[in-house]
Structure 1
């Protein structure tokens, strides 16, 4: 059985896809470009193309890499080519919305836990996300801070060192995320208790996120952040 939620001191969070509506923001930005060009964009097709283009050896850090990704996927989507459109996609990240339940749930959880952000996004983008979420974080680690992206264990080790510096350990952490590939699998391997927020529970497939080699059954499983906050207060 999973541990009592009250036993944790920290909750660490994936941000893009768990708290910020990454798929909705990406598709909306691509559709805005398509509307101006008179071209309709199928959301699931766009996410599939994004996934294939994003995870390549020549990938840059996110969201700067959206400029390159746009150039790779625009022809297949029938969208206009040109670096200016990729730049518009990158800049549009600043306007990506949080899931409707994210900010309120984080505010509730912050009353009991120290909240730590762990994001593969660059610091400039995370600062906008944190503002959108109501600045709930005790600490934050971005790809600029760690030099690596999840699921690299080195990202998690940086967070463990921070927690140990505050006199605690990984046993005091509940790791919360939507990505099986980036978070749930590796957190299990590193001995963390984890919580899967299944944002795509009403859709098939993995959308814009790479499919894991194997599914990891989480310690906790919710389809929303609101449900996690409710459980923590129960």
Structure 2
């Protein structure tokens, strides 16, 4: 007889769900009402416009979701009598056909279920009846006066349940509202990609499914069940002592177990699904030992790998971003900067300084994507210019390692000014007869790509790095055309002549050493 390991094992695993688009056919429900009001011929166009309007209206966290929907319909041009009808139709929207069976299977494996939704209590209760499965916890925007992608839903969830973060997975269909903030919080996620979308660099999920079929196996693969009698093997990995009865254990890939409470959740390879502890990744230069996927590499670790031991001296460590616009979106810019510094231990998204590689001097400017997406604000631009000035003063080449989502929107025009400012700094290097090398890491995009990152005398990249002005999803959503599978990847850029080489991390230091020998003075 099969025995399902579950809540009686002493381990509480939580699966949280967004409701609309994940469990309930949100897209279909909105489109149907838009077609009724505006006509079938305009339905797809206005549905896309609705998706753009709703997050903007939700920035006022005091509005109920019914009011958000009504205001969005008004802005689409609905008559006053028709504007509230979208909200009125929501309780009738159906659940996707596979949802109930999939959630029943998840629950049978011992998972507890919760909903985190951008909606109101009356709506969610009606939708839960459509789903037909009970949930241990439900948190809606009306409870906390906040809409996702704010982190408050997750903060409230942990406060109410006391859940162990290492035993929690979030399941959702929205990259913007759910997967991206889950990544920011370090929460593993399962993306239900019902619309055949492509995630950007900030919204890469732990796992991806087209629907909820197979969700239980996927969740068990991310957070395998641990019993209270778990022991530690000599290698430091968790070892489960199972009773001698037939037991069902579903595992998708060979993996290490989740670390003890308080430590970080394992890094999961998007290439093959293998799990790694931070120390395991550090030993392999943050490269998957199974498939060769290159994980983001912390800036300090990259500098330590590229330079001779003890040779690197950081410059301009005290340069920090200000808040010239007193910018506020869901939170103040000052709060975001403080949080980024706390989470990363960095003062900014760029570290500059001097070091040696096999005894030859080199100036470095290394970006770190973990600090606000590696975005370039006034401090990053200033530090890059100082790195170029130091290279000129010392007569050494400059190596830049960009990894960035682009300009930092919270600084507005001050951020955009850094594009010509950094370009001018590279021109000063060239005027001084000094080489400028660029090593593009994933991702190198937008304003950083459009400025200093594209000006290298020698430009190399890491395998699989995204190198494009903007991502696939934005372009396909604008042009309505399907892009090639390798769009924006380093391999495509090499084929088109935009790069001189693609090098795995293990070969980058020897290559830089050869460049310094060839071009150095």
What is the TM-score normalised by the length of structure 2? 0.38
Q: Cα offset for 1:61?
A: 2.9
What are the within-5 Å matches in structure 2 for residues 211-230 of structure 1? 214-229=201-216
Preserved CA contact (<8 Å) 1:120 1:150? yes
Higher relative contact order (CA 8 A, sep 6+): 1
Q: Is the 8 A contact 2:103 2:133 kept in 1?
A: no
Summarize the Cα distance change of 1:185–1:56 in structure 2 as closer, same or farther, 3 Å threshold.
Answer: closer
For residues 66 and 42 of structure 1, what CA distance do their matches in structure 2 show?
18
Distance of 1:65 and 1:45 partners within structure 2: 19
SS for the counterpart of 1:53 is helix
Decide whether aligned partners of structure 1 residues 102 and 41 sit closer, same or farther in structure 2, where only a CA change above 3 A counts.
Answer: farther
d(CA) in 2 for partners of 1:215, 1:188:
7
- For 1:73-152, what aligned pairs fall within 5 Å after superposition? 73-74=76-77, 81-111=78-108, 112-152=110-150
1:66 is matched with 69
1:214 CA displacement: 4.0
| Mapped contact 1:107–1:136 kept (Cα < 8 A) | no
- Distance in 2 of aligned mates of 1:61 and 1:178: 22
Encode CA deviations 1:133-153: one digit per residue, 9 max, x unaligned: 013211100001122111111
- Aligned pair count reads 208
User: Whose Rg is larger?
Assistant: 2
SS at match of 2:33: helix
Q: Is 1:9 equivalent to 2:13 in the alignment? A: yes
Q: What corresponds to 2:37 in structure 1?
A: 33
What is the CA-CA distance between 1:196 and the residue it aligns to?
A: 0.8
Cα distance in structure 2, aligned partners of 1:228 and 1:61:
31
Q: Secondary structure at the match of 2:56?
A: coil
**Normalising to structure 1: TM-score of the pair?**
0.80
1:55 is paired with a residue whose SS is: helix
Looking at secondary structure, tell me which structure has more helix per residue. Answer: 1
Unaligned runs of 5+ in 1: 1-5, 75-80, 206-211
Q: 1:8 to 1:189 in 2, by over 3 A?
A: farther
State how far apart, in whole Å, the 2-side matches of 1:12 and 1:160 are. 11
Deviation digits for residues 17-45 of structure 1 (CA, Å, limit 9, x no counterpart): 111111100011122234xxxx3344431
Post-superposition Cα deviations, 1:120-139, rounded to whole Å, max 9, x if no partner, equal: 01111101111100132111
My pick for the range that moved more, 189-198 or 223-232, is 223-232
Shift of 1:55: 2.6
- Deviation string 1:171-212 (CA, Å, 9 cap, x unpaired) is 1111111111111111122121111111112xx57xxxxxx8
SS of the equivalent of 1:160 reads helix
